[in-house]
Amino acid sequence: MSQKGFTLMEVLIAVTITAVIGLGVWQVLSGVVLSRDRVNEVADEFDQLQRTMLLLERDLTQVVNRPVRDMYGDYKPALTSREDSFALVLTRQGWRNPLGMRRSSLQRAGWEYTGEELRRRHWITLDQGQEESSQDVLLLSDVNSFEIRFLDQQRNWTDGWPTEELMASLSPGTRPDLPLPMGIEISLEHERFGELTRTFAMPDFDTSEAQGMVNAVNEAAADSDTDNEEENEGQTQQDQSGPSALGDPQ
């Protein structure tokens, strides 16, 4: 009885074919995994960029003209680019307080560019004491440049705010009553996404003008109440004199 089997050559050919197929499958799977990781990396960086621009938009569109004091008691403008460590520092409103903490709804926020990273710091209190309480967050990495321009009241772009003219008008130790810029242009260059530029229109809100409007409304309401009271008193006197006049003998 004869027995037939695979020859050595046939076994080698089968092993070679299996190895080639396995190598091809491994390369395909490796490519899929690498593509997935790259897509996830790009998506994460894009999410960081979107979050950064959203926070910038919220800060700039909710700016309020409320100067603050530093830890030495000196006044600082509500919005300035002249801080040593920050590209932009501002006071904004709309800071939610769902836990009911003992703090203001206003927030002091600073944007810092380190040369590679864009970070945001905010302070718990507006007027700083000797013990500074702040929180720092890394928002965006791989930033090659970060520049800010300001549109003044004469529709001219300037690289610093307050301008030199506004700074010269300040008196030491006094509260800086400076206007906000009409617009702000943010330009940043990202290593992956290239150069991005956004222009924000600043809120047109004058605190003194708004307070004057409130006072005018209150005065108008007070005058209206006074007129109503006088009218009611006159009507009461007329009602009281009416029956007496009818009852007098002829």
Q: How many CA atoms lie within 13 Å of 66's alpha carbon, on the beta-carbon side?
A: 15
The number of domains in the chain is: 1
Please tell me the predicted confidence (pLDDT) of residue 240. 57
Picking from 156, 200, 188, 166, the residue whose alpha carbon sits closest to that of residue 63 is: 200
Q: How is residue 173 annotated by DSSP?
A: T
Higher pLDDT, 31 or 235: 31
Q: Are 120 and 137 in contact (CB under 8 A)?
A: yes
Q: Which domain holds residue 63?
A: 58-208
Q: Are 157 and 179 in contact (CB under 8 A)?
A: no
Q: Is residue 94 part of a domain?
A: yes
Q: Is residue 32 part of a domain?
A: no
Q: Is residue 40 part of a domain?
A: no
Q: How is residue 79 annotated by DSSP?
A: E
Pairing state between β 134-140 and 157-158? unpaired
Q: Is residue 21 part of a domain?
A: no
**pLDDT tens digits along 125-150:** 888 765 567 889 999 999 999 999 99
Which CATH number characterizes residue 69's domain?
Answer: 3.10.610.10
Q: Is residue 249 part of a domain?
A: no
The CA distance from 184 to 111, in Å, is: 14
Q: Are 52 and 111 in contact (CB under 8 A)?
A: no
pTM, two decimal places: 0.67
